[in-house]
A and B are shown apart, each in its own frame.
Chain A
Amino acid sequence: MSPAPARRRRLAALVPAAALVLGLTACGSSGAGSAAPAVTDPAAALDTPTTLTFWTWAPNIDKTVALFEQKYPKIKVNVVNAGQSATEYTKMQTAIKAGSGGPDVAQVEYFALPEFALSKRLVDLKQYGAAGLESKFTPSAWSQVALNGGVWAVPQDTGPMAMFYNQKLFDQLGLKPPTTWAEFEDVAVKIKASDPNRFITSIDPGDAGGLDSFIWQAGGRPFQQKDAGNVAVDLQDPGSKKVADLWSSLLQRKLVDAAPGWTNEWWQSMDSGRYAMWLIGAWAPGNIASTIPNTAKDWRVAPMPQWSTGDKVSAENGGSAVAVPTSSKHQAAAAAFAIWLNSDPEAVRSLNDNGLFPATTGLLTDPAFLDKPLDALGGQKANRILADSSATVGTGWQYLPYQVYANSVFKDTVGQSVNGGDLNAGLGAWQKRIADYGNQQGFKVTTP
């Protein structure tokens, strides 16, 4: 029998401590393992010999997992890269459907979480004491894992938006980093005037997440889930429209390049000064440092351009949480592992050392973190700006309960309008596809 809720919560909040005590005093579970009934208490689960399979594509995360294994030697964690993003989700869906071959713990991006949570494919971590973690995480990270009264995952990393710009190029052209979108437009014109083959930045016709983040920052909330069955979609709300108008105009005047991101050519443009900036999540410095090592030191970070002078509003871009699928046979141990990996101070520091931007307030307010000069950005204390961005993320953003599908048709709809067309028309086409699919899937989708 499980203990009373209050006691269970207290126990779980003390998971690391309790397990440590258990380990030291060598009491607790019999360690019988396979034949024993499923352990439901996380503290005991950590002291029962178990092998967990952890699906993740975060490079170098095995270093943090090794710390966990040192601390809880009875648990062995197999780190498996089963594919990135949509590839992993497809596999997880089929494995959960088949009832075997799935992971015990899985990395899931925030945009995909509602889909897994609402279709009851993830374990509600509240029963393992996750509710007590709320104060440890930034409000924006927490709001993305706590949905419909459950806690479906533990936030791992976040991507508060920032403006990465090539300072050397700005100095050359005598430009200052823009603080508002109006200034951004002026700078875009000046950069183009300096050389017709230069752009302030590029926009990726296949990246739904990027445009979502711009809309989020502009105050748009196009996706709203009223309850389990009802979804409202409005990709022409004031925020979405502001963003579409601005970028359509920039694209039509060829001030912004329409090109898929992350390709070899794209990085060459970043390296050669063909692109002057990159508006992206706070996890970018590591990518800049490793992909364009020769020019990384020329880059700096500044806060996002604002829609009104004096505002401080940001948004999230990317980031993942760690969840436990319902098909796991070791749910208590899996939950305890997910919680330790993403909330223990030592683990969180290790994650950050390996390139993940923190989701915990503890690290985001830690002076050692804030004052760390980033070699990638010429020694700039960039974390201060990035942490500020994290603290000013707009609230109330929601994703669709089938965002993975929606993102997969972004390229055929909005992506088609990126090449010199009107993004508003593209957003309209995207909205239609989203509504049609949702209705087919049994949701009631309302559009204005």
Chain B
Amino acid sequence: MSSSTTTTITKRRPRRGRASNALTLAMALMLGYALLPLVWLFMASTKDTASLMDSFGLWFGHGFHLFGNIADVLSYDHGIYLRWFGNTLLYAVVGAGGAAFIATAAGYGLAKYRFRGRTALAATVLGAIAIPGTALAVPTYLLFSKAGIVDTPWAVLLPSLVSPFGVYLMRVYAAEAVPDSMLEAARIDGAGELRTFFTVSLRLLAPGFVTVLLFALVATWNNYFLPLIVLSDPKWFPLTVGLNQWNALATGAAGSGATTTDFYPLVVTGSLLAIVPLVVAFLFLQRYWQSGLSAGSVKE
């Protein structure tokens, strides 16, 4: 999944010059490019196996099987799909929410306080961004296995709470968004540091917080490699790993045993259902996001 941002023009300015046809065409092409896979996914979700094999991808097949397919997805293997959905929600909400909160607090601390080792700490965080999570997956597994939390939700949640990029982003954002004079005013009024953070700073940091939350949400929702390694029991799988397992079963049981279940419609329809929450999250959180984009671009 990729995210697309659209810039809305809030204040109507009088139009100067004609709209560029070339640009409009380019944008239309981009839009088509972004939407085509979604159209295919929707159309494919309305088909049974036979239609998937012999009808045009971007149009309906024989009959409309969407609701039947959804029922199959939700009932297969005693409703394991719903369980995966719940797991993904848990990992995304707790993981991304926790990651966004920790990143906000850490970024704010790095931006607004002077303490020994601050520069070294900031450099370490910056360096951590350069290490891909995939490279850490196997060492993480061995570490967790020693701690005895492999095959539990903690194995997915703990690593997703850490977002060095989020810390870096929030540090830059907090430096601009929270004026030092306001912090001083809060201190003079007798508020403790924690109270200042929760009542004053956090509100000012909301746009940045939501940005990090969205990034983390997409990252945890699409997290695949880590859960693949640390989980072996399907009852803790997120959707990504579960759907991939169905896909593996659909595309041949590795030369062993026949697939006597129609997995293709399950995979396609399951994928369609899996992206709905992300689309909703984007539609609802976009406005917070945009309002924060211009922060620091002009001197207050």
Binding site for B on A (CB under 8 A): 55, 57-61, 80-85, 87, 90-91, 94-95, 97-98, 100-101, 107, 109, 156-157, 159, 209, 261-264, 267-268, 271-272, 281, 283-287, 289-294, 317-320, 354-356
Contact = CB atoms under 8 A, between A and B. Distances in A.
A268 B53 contact: yes
16 contacts: A57-B248, A58-B257, A59-B253, A59-B260, A60-B260, A83-B228, A87-B228, A94-B142, A94-B145, A262-B251, A268-B54, A272-B54, A292-B50, A294-B54, A320-B256, A355-B257
A59 B142 contact: no
B49 interface: yes
Contacts of A285: 258
B33 to A, nearest CB: 21
B53 A264 contact: yes
A278 B53 CA distance: 17
Contacts of B138: 94
A100 B259 contact: no
A290 B257 contact: no
B255 A83 contact: no
Contacts of A268: 53-54
Contacts, number: 140
A291 B53 contact: yes
A319 B255 contact: yes
Contact of A287 (B148, B150, B258): B258
B156 interface: no
Interface of B: 49-50, 52-54, 138, 141-142, 145-146, 148, 150-151, 228-229, 232-234, 245, 248-262, 264
Contact of A82 (B145, B146, B232, B254): B232
Nearest to B249: A59
A290 B262 contact: yes
B30 to A, nearest CB: 26
Interface centre among A61, A268, A355 (most CB of B within 10 A): A355
A354 B260 CA distance: 7
Contacts of A83: 228, 232, 245, 248
Nearest to A354: B260
Given A58-B257, A81-B245, A287 B252 contact: yes
A101 B145 contact: yes
A355 B53 contact: no
Given A81-B234, A264-B264, A291-B53, A283 B145 contact: no
B76 to A, nearest CB: 11
Nearest to A264: B52
Contact of A98 (B50, B142, B234, B264): B142
Nearest to A271: B53
A261 B252 contact: yes
Given A97-B142, A284-B258, 20 more contacts: A57-B249, A59-B261, A60-B260, A80-B232, A81-B234, A98-B142, A100-B148, A101-B151, A262-B251, A283-B258, A285-B258, A286-B258, A290-B49, A290-B262, A291-B264, A292-B49, A317-B255, A318-B254, A319-B255, A354-B257
Nearest to A111: B255
A267 to B, nearest CB: 5
Contacts of B248: 57, 83-84, 87
A267 B254 contact: no
Contact of A80 (B148, B150, B234, B252): B234
A292 B262 CA distance: 10
A84 B255 CA distance: 10
Nearest to A321: B256
A355 B234 contact: no
A57 B50 contact: no
A356 to B, nearest CB: 5
Contact of A286 (B145, B254, B260): B260
A292 B48 CA distance: 11
B243 to A, nearest CB: 13
A344 B50 CA distance: 37
A293 B52 CA distance: 11
Contacts of B264: 264, 291
Contacts of A95: 145, 150, 232
Nearest to B254: A85
Nearest to A98: B145
